[in-house]
């Protein structure tokens, strides 16, 4: 996959899957823009790309704020002239609690980042891609967008919504040369999964990690590079007629029904 001369914009680019995607896009020749509300993390990602001989810019922005989304799009186009690939990826996990105990403010916060952030990103990037007559967007959903996970109501609702937004936008822009797909990772070895392990098994996250990984057909978490590989494929010409799709990268979890396992302790 050759992205020479292309521009890749990545939200949540400061850590985890977003950082790995920035590095992978740059290795494949793209100029990369890492957007994150954690500006230092975005700068660190850009630094890694530059150390490897790539071209990268870091932008500090909160994806829930329309003005900041407009600003990251404007800055990218001003600097690099276009946006070929948009990895709409920033997300948060919220808390582990059942519906009847779930905090209203946490619910709003999760929907704010994971749904409104994805919506605003597409709202402001799509006009650039339509103007170009080309472009590919990958939204980060999750296996939590495909099946329920007890005790994660906000996260599950938000990721189901990401798939709805993906399919809707894909249909709107398919005749204008723009493709919109979603990636559905299973548990990936990042801060997010380790934070969930700690919530599920306070003081002994390692036990939860082992139990969770053992429950997966491949017996291990997905790596950030393995998710980035799917993202690059979906943004590449190899996926030229692929739009509106949802692509699992989950070690066989959903295929085997593992995703409905309730990992929370018995109450
Ligand atoms: N790790 C997993 O197991 C897993 C599984 C499925 C899906 N996902 C999804 O993958 C995406 C990336 O997660 P990750 O595992 O790399 O987590 P992470 O916490 O390592 O990285 C997420 C990044 O997003 C940034 N971010 C959060 N809120 C933001 C906001 N409002 N504006 C701008 N940036 C913001 C954070 O600062 C962080 O750098 C998320 O959408 C997550 O839901 C993760």
Q: Is 34 in the pocket of ligand 1 (CB under 6 A)?
A: no
Which pLDDT does position 259 carry in this prediction?
Answer: 45
Please check whether residue 172 lies inside any domain of the structure. yes
One domain for residues 28 and 74: yes
Q: What digits encode the pLDDT tens for the residues 175-203? A: 999 999 999 999 999 999 999 999 988 89
Tokens 């997010």 sit on residue: 192
Q: How many domains does the chain have?
A: 2
One domain for residues 197 and 117: no
Residue 94 has pLDDT above 70, yes or no: yes
Catalytic residue, from 72, 80, 102, 155: name it: 155
Q: Is 33 in the pocket of ligand 1 (CB under 6 A)?
A: no
CATH number, domain containing residue 156? 3.40.50.720
Q: Is 17 in the pocket of ligand 1 (CB under 6 A)?
A: yes
One domain for residues 65 and 196: no
Which pLDDT does position 257 carry in this prediction?
Answer: 81
pTM of the predicted protein model = 0.96
One domain for residues 123 and 195: no
Atom of ligand 1 at shortest distance to CA of 113?
Answer: 31
Q: What digits encode the pLDDT tens for the residues 196-251? A: 999 988 899 999 999 999 999 999 999 999 999 999 999 999 999 999 999 999 99
Please check whether residue 261 lies inside any domain of the structure. no
One domain for residues 109 and 136: yes
Which pLDDT does position 17 carry in this prediction?
Answer: 98
One domain for residues 194 and 234: no
Q: Is 41 in the pocket of ligand 1 (CB under 6 A)?
A: yes
Residue numbers of the domain that contains 138: 7-186+225-248
Instruction: Pick the residue whose CA is nearest to atom 22 on ligand 1.
Output: 12
Residue 266 has pLDDT above 90, yes or no: no
Average pLDDT over residues 89-112: 98
Please check whether residue 123 lies inside any domain of the structure. yes
One domain for residues 114 and 65: yes
Q: What digits encode the pLDDT tens for the residues 137-165? A: 999 999 999 999 999 999 999 999 999 99
CB 58 within 8 A of CB 18: no
Q: For the sheet containing 31-36, what is the strand order? A: 56-60, 31-36, 7-11, 85-88, 135-140, 178-185, 246-249
One domain for residues 114 and 214: no
Please check whether residue 267 lies inside any domain of the structure. no
One domain for residues 205 and 234: no
Which pLDDT does position 189 carry in this prediction?
Answer: 95
One domain for residues 207 and 235: no
What is the secondary structure of 167-193 as a DSSP string?
HHHHHHHGGGTEEEEEEEE-SBSSHHH
Atom of ligand 1 at shortest distance to CA of 41?
Answer: 39
Active site residue 80: no
């Amino acid at each position: 996959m050759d992205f020479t001369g292309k521009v890749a914009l990545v939200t949540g680019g400061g850590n985890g899957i977003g950082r790995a995607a920035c590095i992978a896009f740059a290795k494949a020749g793209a100029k990369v823009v890492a957007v994150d509300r954690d500006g230092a993390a975005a700068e660190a990602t850009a630094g890694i790309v530059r150390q490897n001989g790539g071209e990268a810019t870091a932008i500090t922005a909160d994806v829930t704020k329309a003005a900041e989304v407009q600003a990251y799009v404007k800055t990218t186009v001003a600097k690099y002239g276009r946006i070929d690939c948009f990895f709409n990826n920033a997300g948060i996990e919220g808390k582990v609690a059942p519906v009847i105990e779930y905090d209203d403010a946490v619910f709003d916060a999760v929907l704010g980042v994971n749904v409104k952030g994805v919506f605003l990103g597409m709202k402001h990037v799509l006009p650039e891609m339509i103007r170009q007559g080309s472009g590919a967007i990958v939204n980060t959903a999750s296996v939590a967008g495909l099946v329920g996970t007890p005790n994660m109501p906000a996260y599950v609702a938000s990721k189901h919504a990401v798939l709805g937004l993906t399919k809707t936008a894909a249909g709107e822009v398919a005749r204008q040369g723009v493709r919109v797909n979603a990636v559905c990772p299973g548990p990936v070895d990042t801060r997010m999964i380790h934070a969930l392990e700690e919530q599920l098994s306070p003081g002994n996250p390692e036990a939860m990690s082992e139990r969770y990984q053992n429950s997966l057909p491949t017996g291990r978490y997905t790596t950030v590079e393995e998710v980035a590989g799917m993202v690059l494929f979906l943004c590449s010409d190899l996926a030229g007629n692929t739009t509106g799709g949802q692509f699992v990268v989950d070690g066989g979890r959903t295929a085997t029904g593992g995703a409905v396992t309730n990992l929370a302790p018995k109450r």
